[in-house]
């Protein structure tokens, strides 16, 4: 589904990704872990198509297509979803309006008819219930005045409505209390499917107790320095990132 | 002496005296002595009136049959801002001359009079609305209005009136003509009203409108007031609004600039007694080569007064938008609470927005906040929308629309809001897309 080869990227003239190699197959859940500043969020943003992040080398294919040649909106319509670490507040743009426009953009690209307003509201209410979100969400601006936890729930809600093929969740677990973490995890797990893949970018192993990954990678200094199965996450939790980075030096 | 000043003096000399003569004389004398404001004057530093000064203006005539009937205007707004069934009355001011008809006197809670007639009968009831000639540069054109206004409307609101009252100011005629519309809105204690002033021009003319509206709110009175500038691109509009607020009164004021070539809009509010509260909203749209200069001066003259100023400026093409706001807290006006928020959005590399929030505080216990930002569309917001699959045009338009929402959502008259939104959207890029968000 996703194949990243020797990817390097710069942000504001500074090289952040220094040669990332990663293959994610349909049906898999991958976790990318790593210390602060290792390039995790940059990788997520580059994959979603942020333009001010400059790709300097390497290639990324998504379902066989050259992802880097696609604009952010094209990537989204092709089935890639980024759950933001810091979802931006957009006062004046209604949550429901955005979701509907997003879903219709995707359907239009797939040659499907636009969703009917009634049908859409029913869908969104059902997903909101699943994510345990309050009704007031319907009338509010995008993330406007949301707490950190509400913003993350909203990201997962959007993901559930858009049903992406590949979801990249950037620290969706950070800032959540244990109840919210469970709700978010249930949301992510509900999307697990042989035809889909999920990439969890996370700093802590905590989320991985609820969403069990097939593979765990450690990103450090802008590239993946270690990969393993879920036990790697536990080992990292026990021994700290210095262990991996130290091993690298040795 | 500039050509404009000479022409105003000529208009003054040929005018027949009326009961207001002493007040008018003092104002004209002051105006001629001070001259037109220039870039050296504090509140005029962004607006160059030299082109105006070089023009000769003749008095716009009152006799223009048919002008009051709805027709096409050059402004792009629909002629009527409010649906017929949704308002109590429509009053017309043609070239600054009130069109009075008998049936307007029959509305419960509103008394409508000619300022001149009322002044003839009972000068003391109106004298407080004609301040002594002031040298303040933001009041320069008010002096000329006082000297030259032909007549005006005095609206006395004596009870709560829930349906809007519309005042249509229409400029009609041809060539360089000047008019000086004058409105007084006197909301008595406990009364309330919604008043919409809509400025339009008919045909392809280059009028100078020098209007003044004076609002007085009695104890616990409430007013929602709109002034919508929607004249054609050749029009110069100088508009001054004075607001005086008594105890526990509240005023919500909307200034909407979406027409005219040169617009200068001032608001001077005085919160004279405890509990007075003002919410001022300004929506300033720079389009083509329009120049919009907005000056707000709010004085907290009593303790426990509250003011909010929310301004949104959008500038496209080669337009320029200026928003200057000043909050003055007088000595002793403790527990004054004020906020100034101004956001500017540049839609073109050749447009300019200048904002200057100022505070002048002479009391100890106050809560005053101000903020001003100007920029292009927020790249984080844009990326967020794109990452959800919205196309670029839709995402950009949606953010422009969202930018205006703070002001639009405050409007209680839904049909006026819809008409304003519609006119505004037609001046923004991608208006087809924007219409879908409504």
Whether the predicted interface score ipTM is above 0.90:
yes
| Domain presence at residue B365 | no
pLDDT for A123 beyond 50: yes
pLDDT category, A249, cuts 50, 70, 90?
very low
Number of domains forming the structure of chain B: 2
The answer to whether position B393 is within a domain reads: yes
The pLDDT value recorded for residue B76 is: 40
Contact B155, B185 (CB under 8 A): yes
Question: Is residue B344 a part of any domain in this protein?
Answer: no
The answer for residues whose C-beta is within 8 angstroms of residue A155's C-beta and 6 or more apart is: A83, A84, A87, A169, A172
For residue B309, being part of any structural domain is answered with no
Are residues B248 and B276 in contact, defined by beta-carbon separation less than 8 angstroms? yes
Residue B388 to residue B382: CA distance in whole angstroms: 10
Please tell me which of the candidates A50, A105, A109 has its beta carbon nearest to residue B383.
A50
DSSP labels for B166-213? Answer: EEEEEE-SSSSEEE--EEEEEE-TT-EEEEEEEEEE-SS---EEEEEE
> What is the secondary structure of B139-176 as a DSSP string?
GHHHHHHHHH---EEEEEE-SB--S-EEEEEEE-SSSS
Angle at A210 between CA A206 and CA A215, to 5 degrees: 80
pLDDT at position B62 is 84
Query: Do B266 and B407 belong together in one domain?
Result: no
Nearest CA in chain B to A48: B387
Which A residues in the span 162-201 are in contact with B, Cβ-Cβ below 8 Å?
A: 162
- Domain assignment present for B338: no
Task: Round to whole Å and give the CA distance between B406 and A144.
Answer: 13
* Bridge partners, residue B94, by sequence: B97, B170
User: Do the beta carbons of residue A185 and residue A177 sit within 8 Å?
Assistant: no
Please check whether residue B79 lies inside any domain of the structure.
yes
Non-local CB neighbours of B359 within 8 Å, separated by 6+ positions: B326, B327, B329, B338, B368, B370
Give the tens place of pLDDT for each residue, B154-168. 999 999 998 899 999
Query: What share of chain A in percent tops pLDDT 90?
Result: 74
Q: Are residues B184 and B70 in the same domain?
A: yes
Sign of the Cα pseudo-torsion (A60, A62, A65, A69, in order): negative
Please judge whether A50 and B385 are an interchain contact, meaning their C-beta atoms are less than 8 angstroms apart.
no
Which residue in chain A is spatially nearest to B402 when comparing CA positions?
A92
Say what the pLDDT of residue B246 is.
98
pLDDT over 80 at B84, yes or no: no
Smallest CA–CA distance from A95 into chain B, residue: B385
Both B50 and B168 in a single domain? yes
Contact B304, B329 (CB under 8 A): no
pLDDT digits (tens, 9 = 90+) for B86-98: 666 789 999 999 9
Instruction: Give the C-alpha separation, A201 to A170, whole Å.
Output: 5
Domain assignment present for residue B142? The answer is yes
For B150, the domain range is 3-273
Q: Could you say which residues from 110 to 169 on chain A have a Cβ atom under 8 Å away from some Cβ of chain B?
A: 141-142, 158, 162
The shortest C-alpha distance from A91 to chain B (Å) reads: 6
What region, left, alpha or beta, does residue A37 occupy, with left being phi > 0 and alpha being psi -120 to 50 degrees?
A: left
Q: Model confidence over A146-165: pLDDT tens digits?
A: 988 899 999 999 999 999 99
User: In chain B, what residues touch A82 (CB-CB under 8 Å)?
Assistant: 387
B33 and B173 inside one domain: yes
Model pLDDT for residues B397-419, shown as the tens digit of each residue: 889 888 888 788 889 888 888 88
Q: Is A79 on the interface with B (CB under 8 A)?
A: no
* Min Cα–Cα distance to chain B from A211, Å: 24
Residues 6+ apart with CB under 8 A from A133: A150, A153, A154, A157
B242/B227 Cα distance (integer angstroms): 12
Specify whether B38 is located in the same domain as B169.
yes
- Percent pLDDT > 90 in chain B is 69
**Six-digit token pair at B114?**
């000619």
Point out the domain boundary residue: B237, B257, B273. Answer: B273
- Stretch B277-282: mean pLDDT, rounded? 97
Cβ of B390 within 8 Å of Cβ of A73? The answer is yes
Chain A residues close to B381, C-beta within 8 Å:
88, 90
Q: Measured between alpha carbons, how far is B225 from B220 in angstroms, rounded to an integer? A: 16
- Chain centroid to Cα A150, Å, comes to 16
Mutation choice for B interface testing from A47, A73, A110, A139 by most B CBs within 10 A: A73
Q: Taking residues A25-48, report their average pLDDT.
A: 94
A50 touches chain B (CB under 8 A): yes
Question: Chain A contact for B394, CB < 8 A?
Answer: yes
**Cβ neighbours of A91 in B, within 8 Å:** 402, 405-406
- What is the pTM for the complete model shown? 0.80
Nearest to residue A2, comparing CAs of A82, A101, A112?
Answer: A82
Q: Are residues B385 and B236 in the same domain?
A: no
Distance CA A77, CA B43 (A): 51
B116 domain residue, yes or no: yes
CB contact under 8 A, A102 and B392: no
The stretch B239-248 carries a mean pLDDT of: 98
Structure tokens at A151: 């913003």
Chain A residues within 8 A of B405 when measuring between CB atoms: 91-92
Residue where a domain stops, chosen among B226, B246, B273: B273
pLDDT band, very low/low/confident/very high, at B71 (cuts 50, 70, 90)? very low
Q: What separation in angstroms does the CA of B220 have from each of B217, B243, B260, B274, B352? A: 8, 15, 35, 11, 40
Residue B47, classed as helix, strand or coil, is: coil
Q: Which of B273, B305, B336 is the endpoint of a domain?
A: B273
Domains plus CATH for chain A?
2-249 (3.40.50.300)
Q: Which of B345, B289, B347, B290 is nearest to B313 (CA)?
A: B345
Instruction: Compute CA distances B177 → B3, B173, B200, whole Å.
Output: 13, 8, 15
């Amino acid at each position: 589904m996703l194949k990243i080869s020797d990817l390097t990227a710069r942000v504001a003239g500074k090289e952040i990704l220094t040669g990332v190699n990663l293959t994610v197959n349909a049906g898999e859940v991958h976790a990318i872990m790593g210390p602060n500043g290792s390039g995790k969020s940059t990788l997520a943003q580059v994959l979603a198509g942020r333009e001010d992040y400059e790709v300097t080398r390497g290639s990324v294919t998504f379902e066989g297509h050259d992802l880097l040649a696609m604009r952010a909106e094209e990537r989204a319509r092709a089935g890639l979803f980024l759950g933001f670490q810091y979802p931006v507040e957009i006062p004046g743009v209604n949550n429901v309006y955005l979701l509907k426009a997003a879903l219709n953009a995707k359907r239009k690209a797939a040659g499907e008819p636009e969703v009917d307003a009634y049908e859409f509201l029913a869908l969104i209410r059902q997903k909101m219930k699943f994510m345990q979100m309050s009704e007031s969400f319907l009338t509010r601006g995008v993330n406007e005045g949301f707490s950190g936890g509400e913003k993350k729930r909203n990201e997962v809600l959007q993901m559930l409505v858009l049903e992406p093929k590949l979801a990249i969740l950037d620290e969706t677990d950070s800032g959540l209390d244990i109840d919210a973490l469970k709700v978010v995890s249930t949301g992510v797990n509900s999307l697990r499917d042989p035809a889909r893949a999920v990439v969890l970018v996370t700093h802590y192993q905590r989320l991985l107790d609820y969403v069990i990954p097939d593979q765990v990678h450690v990103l450090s200094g802008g590239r993946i320095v270690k990969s393993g199965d879920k036990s790697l996450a536990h080992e990292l939790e026990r021994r700290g990132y210095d262990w991996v980075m130290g091993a690298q030096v040795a | 002496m500039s050509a404009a000043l000479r022409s105003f003096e000529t208009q003054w000399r040929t005018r027949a005296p009326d009961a207001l003569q002493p007040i008018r004389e003092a104002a004209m004398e002051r105006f001629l002595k001070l001259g037109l404001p220039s870039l050296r004057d504090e509140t005029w530093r962004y607006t160059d009136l030299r082109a105006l000064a070089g023009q000769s203006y003749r008095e716009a005539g009152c006799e223009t049959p048919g002008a009051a009937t709805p027709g096409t205007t050059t402004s792009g707004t629909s002629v009527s801002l409010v649906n017929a069934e949704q308002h109590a009355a429509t009053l017309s001011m043609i070239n600054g001359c009130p069109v009075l008809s008998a049936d307007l006197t029959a509305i419960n809670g509103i008394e409508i009079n000619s300022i001149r007639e009322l002044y003839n009968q009972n000068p003391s009831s109106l004298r407080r609305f004609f301040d002594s000639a002031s040298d303040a540069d933001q009041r320069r054109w008010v002096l000329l209005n006082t000297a030259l206004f032909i007549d005006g409307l005095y609206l006395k609101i004596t009870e709560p009136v829930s349906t809007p009252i519309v005042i249509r100011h229409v400029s009609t005629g041809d060539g360089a003509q000047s008019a000086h519309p004058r409105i007084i809105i006197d909301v008595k204690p406990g009364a309330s009203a919604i008043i919409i002033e809509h400025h339009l021009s008919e045909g392809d003319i280059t009028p100078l409108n020098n209007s003044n509206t004076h609002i007085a709110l009695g104890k616990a009175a409430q007013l929602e007031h709109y002034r919508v500038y929607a004249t054609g691109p050749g029009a110069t509009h100088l508009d001054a609004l004075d607001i005086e607020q008594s105890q526990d009164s509240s005023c919500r004021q909307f200034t909407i600039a979406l027409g005219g070539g040169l617009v200068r809009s001032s608001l001077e509010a005085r919160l004279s007694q405890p509990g007075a509260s003002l919410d001022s909203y300004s929506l300033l749209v720079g389009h083509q080569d329009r120049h919009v200069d907005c000056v707000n001066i709010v004085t907290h003259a009593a303790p426990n007064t509250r003011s909010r100023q929310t301004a949104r400026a959008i500038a496209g093409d080669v337009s320029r938008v200026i928003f200057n706001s000043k909050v003055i807290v007088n000595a002793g006006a403790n527990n004054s609470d004020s906020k100034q928020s101004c956001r500017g959005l540049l839609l073109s590399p050749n447009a300019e927005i200048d904002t200057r929030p100022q505070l002048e505080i002479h009391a100890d216990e106050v809560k005053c906040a101000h903020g001003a930002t100007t920029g292009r569309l927020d790249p984080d917001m844009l990326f967020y929308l794109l990452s959800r699959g919205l196309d670029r045009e839709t995402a950009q338009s949606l953010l422009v629309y969202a930018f205006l929402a703070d002001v639009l959502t405050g409007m209680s008259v839904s049909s006026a809001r819809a008409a304003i939104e519609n006119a505004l959207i037609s001046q923004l890029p991608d208006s087809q897309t924007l219409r879908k968000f409504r």
